[in-house]
Amino acid sequence: MQTAQWIIRQYLRKRIAVCMVIAVCAFALTLGTRFISQRGENQKQLDQLTAHSVERLNKILQPLQSRRSDMLALVGQPCQAIHLPLRKLAVALQTVRSIALVKAGKLYCSSALGARDVALHSLQPQLPSRLPLLALTLDHSLIVGTPILIQWYPASDDGQDGVMVSINIDLISNIILEPSPPLINRISLNVGDLNYQHGPGINNALSPGDDKIYTRTSTAFPFSISALSPGPARLALRNLITDLPLAIIMSVLFTWIAWLATAGRLSFSREINMGIAGKEFSLYCQPQMDARMQRCIGVEILLRWHNPRVGWVEPDVFIPIAETQNLIIPLTRYVISETAKKLHLFPNDRAFQIGINVAAAHFKHGRLLKDLQQHWFSYQPVQQLTIELTERDAPHDVSYPLRSELGNHQVKLAIDDFGTGNSSLSWLEMLHPDVLKIDKAFTAAIGTDAVNSAVTDIIIALGQRLNIELIAEGVETQEQALYLQRHGVHLLQGYLFSPPMPLADFPRWLAENEAEKV
Structural domain contains residue 183: no
Q: How many domains does the chain have?
A: 3
Q: Which of 205, 228, 262 is the last residue of a domain?
A: 262
* Mutual angle of helices 265-277 and 244-262, in 10-degree steps: 50
Q: Is there a single domain that holds both residue 140 and residue 283? A: no
Q: Is there a single domain that holds both residue 333 and residue 425? A: yes
- Are the C-beta atoms of residues 126 and 183 closer than 8 Å to each other? no
pLDDT at 34 over 70: yes
Structural domain contains residue 251: yes
pLDDT at 53 over 80: yes
Give pLDDT tens digits for 198-229.
778 888 877 777 788 899 999 999 999 999 88
Q: Is 79 exposed, middle or buried (0-12, 13-18, 19+ CB in 10 A)?
A: middle
Q: Give the per-residue SS3 of 417-483.
A: EECCCCCCHHHHHHHCCCEEEECHHHHHCCCCCHHHHHHHHHHHHHHHHCCCEEEECCCCCHHHHHH
Give pLDDT tens digits for 86-145.
999 988 887 888 999 999 999 999 998 899 999 999 899 999 999 999 999 988 887 887
pLDDT at 10 over 80: no
Structural domain contains residue 42: no
Strand partners for 469: 435
Tell me the mean pLDDT in the region 461-473.
Answer: 90
Going by pLDDT thresholds of 50, 70 and 90, the confidence category of residue 2 is very low
Element (H, E) at 296: strand 295-307
Structural domain contains residue 252: yes
Helix (H, G, I), strand (E, B) or coil at 147: strand
The sign of the torsion formed by the CA atoms of 389, 394, 395, 397 equals negative
- Are the C-beta atoms of residues 366 and 402 closer than 8 Å to each other? yes
> First CA to last CA across the chain, in angstroms?
45
Q: Is there a single domain that holds both residue 435 and residue 481? A: yes
Q: Is there a single domain that holds both residue 280 and residue 258? A: no
Q: Is there a single domain that holds both residue 344 and residue 394? A: yes
Q: Is there a single domain that holds both residue 117 and residue 29? A: no
Q: Is there a single domain that holds both residue 153 and residue 284? A: no
Going by pLDDT thresholds of 50, 70 and 90, the confidence category of residue 3 is very low
- Strand positions, DSSP E, 308-420: 311-313, 353-358, 384-390, 412-418
Helix (H, G, I), strand (E, B) or coil at 297: strand
Structural domain contains residue 184: no
Structural domain contains residue 58: no
Q: Is there a single domain that holds both residue 258 and residue 347? A: no
Give pLDDT tens digits for 251-277.
999 889 888 777 655 566 777 888 888
Phi, psi (rounded to 5 degrees) for 335: -65, -45
Q: Is there a single domain that holds both residue 475 and residue 371? A: yes
Euclidean distance between CA atoms 300 and 313, whole angstroms: 20
CATH code, domain with 120: 3.30.450.20
Mean pLDDT of the chain, nearest integer: 86
Q: Which of 115, 146, 170 is the last residue of a domain?
A: 170
- Are the C-beta atoms of residues 334 and 304 closer than 8 Å to each other? no
pLDDT of residue 160: 94
- Are the C-beta atoms of residues 255 and 15 closer than 8 Å to each other? no
Between 393 and 329, name the one with better pLDDT: 329
pLDDT at 410 over 60: yes
pLDDT of residue 300: 96
Phi, psi (rounded to 5 degrees) for 145: 90, -5
Q: Is there a single domain that holds both residue 340 and residue 446? A: yes
CATH code, domain with 286: 3.20.20.450
**Is the whole model's pTM more than 0.85, yes or no?**
no
Q: Is there a single domain that holds both residue 127 and residue 29? A: no
pLDDT of residue 342: 95
Q: Is there a single domain that holds both residue 25 and residue 131? A: no
Residue ranges making up the domain that contains 144: 74-170
Q: Which of 262, 289, 314 is the last residue of a domain?
A: 262
Structural domain contains residue 241: no
pLDDT of residue 393: 57
pLDDT of residue 400: 67
Structural domain contains residue 459: yes
- Are the C-beta atoms of residues 288 and 297 closer than 8 Å to each other? yes
Point out the least confidently predicted range of 27-31, 448-452, 510-514: 448-452
